[in-house]
């Protein structure tokens, strides 16, 4: 009867049950023992903490069972919650009983160090470890905070299709498929559809998967990633930049506020993150960036796009994320609005993250002139017939409008301080089975 009265809790709720006897379903991540005491490192999916097994309390049988538990065995554990000021979590459980649920033999991810490729090949199991658990906890918070931000700002979520007949970013990196008797592509971006949404709902955003058919294995690039893409009617670039910086600062602040234990597991410098919550962010033009690079000994000529070395150098000159404004028209997509006084640049901006993490946002004011946009589509080698619906947006009550896209995984790599973008998504190696 007494067993039935025990409250079953999660580890994350341990602070609410100090000096209470509780029951928790757990897995074993590691253990050590010395004489008449054993220390069990436990997880339950909500948090990690330590179970202390004292032989003189639990008896010979339970103590022997604890000593012979294998890594990732699952079991019910009953015990009393105590404070533990030495641990990052701050609490532990003094074990009274163990009820084995599932055994585990020869778990491949042992406590020793493993290479990143081995860990990604075993991602389905590596998710259980503390670092990926912390990263994905922060990912979840960023997603939650994204919806909060845009809901508070009056945005409507409009879902863009994943199969599309259009190429917003050009045709060279599209995944091609057939949609019955038509050509179709995995989406590079939901932007064009979001523009239609903005002219119906004023402010909209999408959040979904996007694909780039690039065989890139750099630490910054993914074949499949998730994008947050807002579009805003009656809005010029400077107003859009304010939305962008407020959004990024809001996300960082919410990670600080709600993911303290995860940031501690990752050894992320919270004081450094706090600097990124201060707005406005600095702004420099592309022209100024070229001049800055050359003065710093980084060769750059006007018209070049920026790669990792250039972006890292530019970001290092500031303590906050920095906007680079108005890139050359020749290196940007067809839909961007031309500059009013210069034919060689468009009204756009990239937001570069500090610490060498590169571009986390790309955005622009959108072209609104029908004839100009039609010519740009033709110049890009695209078929105007495929964009007839998009051109319609310029025929029927077009207004100034702007938008941007934030890559979730690149943003997470920066905020968590990780080395590789693949560590920020749950299952990054599935496509790598095809392209190893």
The Cα–Cα gap between 235 and 403 comes to 9
Backbone angles phi, psi at 132, to 5 degrees: -60, -35
Least confident of 62-76, 182-196, 264-278, 305-319: 182-196
pTM of the full structure: 0.92
pLDDT, tens digit, 9 for 90 and up, residues 355-411 = 999 999 999 999 999 999 999 999 999 899 989 999 999 999 999 999 999 999 999
Question: What percentage of residues in the chain have a pLDDT greater than 90?
Answer: 78
**Intra-chain end-to-end CA distance of the chain, in Å:** 56
Q: How many Cβ atoms are within 10 Å of 380's Cβ, its own excluded?
A: 14
HSE at residue 105, side-chain half, CA atoms within 13 A, is 0
Report whether pLDDT(2) > 60: no
CB atoms closer than 10 angstroms to residue 155: 21
Per DSSP, helices labelled H in 259-387 are: 260-265, 270-275, 286-295, 308-316, 370-379
Q: Which of 11, 75, 92 is nearest to 46 (CA)?
A: 11
Q: Which of 236, 180, 229, 239 is nearest to 209 (CA)?
A: 229
Statement: residue 185 has pLDDT above 90 = no
| β-strand pairing of 283-285 with 322-325 | parallel
d(CA 347, CA 340): 9
Which domains does the chain carry? 2-102 (2.40.50.140), 123-424 (3.30.930.10)
3-state class of 363 per DSSP? strand
**Average pLDDT over the chain, rounded to an integer:** 92
pLDDT of residue 172: 61
Q: Which of 62-66, 166-170, 219-223 has the lowest mean pLDDT?
A: 166-170
What pLDDT does residue 224 have?
A: 82
Does residue 428 register a pLDDT over 90?
no
Give yes or no for a contact between 138 and 412, defined as CB atoms under 8 angstroms apart: yes
14 against 189, higher pLDDT: 14
Q: Which residue has the higher pLDDT, 216 or 234?
A: 234
> Lowest-pLDDT range, 2-6, 24-28, 177-181, 408-412?
2-6
Tokens 């025929």, residue?
A: 395
Tens of pLDDT, residue by residue over 17-59, are 999 999 999 999 999 998 899 999 999 999 999 999 999 999 9
Task: Give Cβ neighbours of residue 180 (< 8 Å, ≥ 6 apart).
Answer: none
């Amino acid at each position: 009867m007494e067993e039935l009265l025990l409250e079953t809790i999660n580890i994350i709720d341990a602070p609410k049950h100090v000096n209470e006897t509780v029951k928790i379903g757990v897995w074993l991540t590691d253990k050590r023992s010395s004489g008449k005491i054993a220390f069990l490192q436990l997880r339950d999916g909500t948090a990690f903490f330590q179970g202390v097994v004292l032989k003189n309390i639990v008896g010979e049988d339970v103590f022997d069972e604890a000593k012979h538990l294998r890594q990732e065995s699952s079991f019910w554990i009953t015990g009393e919650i105590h404070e533990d000021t030495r641990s990052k979590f701050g609490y532990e459980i003094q074990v009274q009983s163990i009820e084995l649920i599932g055994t585990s033999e020869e778990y491949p991810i042992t406590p020793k160090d493993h290479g990143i490729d081995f860990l990604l090949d075993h991602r389905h199991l590596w998710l259980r470890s503390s670092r990926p658990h912390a990263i994905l906890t922060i990912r979840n918070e960023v997603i939650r905070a994204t919806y909060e931000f845009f809901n508070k700002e009056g945005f409507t979520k409009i879902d863009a299709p994943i199969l599309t007949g259009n190429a917003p970013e050009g045709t060279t990196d599209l995944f091609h498929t057939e949609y019955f008797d038509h050509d179709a592509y995995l989406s590079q971006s939901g932007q064009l559809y979001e523009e239609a949404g903005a002219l119906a709902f004023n402010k909209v955003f999408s959040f979904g998967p996007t694909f780039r058919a690039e065989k890139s294995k750099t630490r910054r690039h993914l074949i499949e990633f998730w994008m947050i893409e807002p579009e805003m009617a009656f809005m010029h670039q400077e107003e859009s930049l304010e939305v962008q910086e407020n959004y990024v600062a809001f996300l960082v602040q919410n990670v600080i506020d709600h993911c303290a234990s995860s940031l501690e597991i990752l050894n992320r410098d919270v004081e450094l993150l706090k600097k990124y919550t201060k707005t406005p962010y600095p702004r420099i033009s592309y022209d100024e960036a070229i001049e800055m690079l050359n003065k710093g000994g980084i060769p750059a000529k006007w018209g070049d796009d920026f790669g990792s070395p250039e972006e890292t150098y530019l970001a290092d000159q500031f303590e906050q994320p920095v906007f680079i404004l108005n890139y050359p028209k020749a290196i940007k997509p067809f839909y961007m609005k031309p500059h009013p006084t210069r034919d060689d640049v468009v009204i756009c901006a990239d937001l570069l993250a500090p610490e060498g993490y590169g571009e986390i946002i790309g955005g622009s004011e959108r072209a609104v002139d029908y004839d100009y946009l039609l010519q740009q589509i033709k110049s890009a080698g695209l078929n105007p017939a495929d964009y007839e619906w998009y051109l319609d947006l310029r025929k029927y009550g077009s207004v100034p409008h702007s938008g941007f896209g934030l890559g979730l995984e690149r943003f997470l790599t920066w905020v968590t301080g990780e080395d590789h973008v693949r560590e920020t998504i749950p299952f990054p190696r599935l496509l790598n089975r095809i392209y190893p």
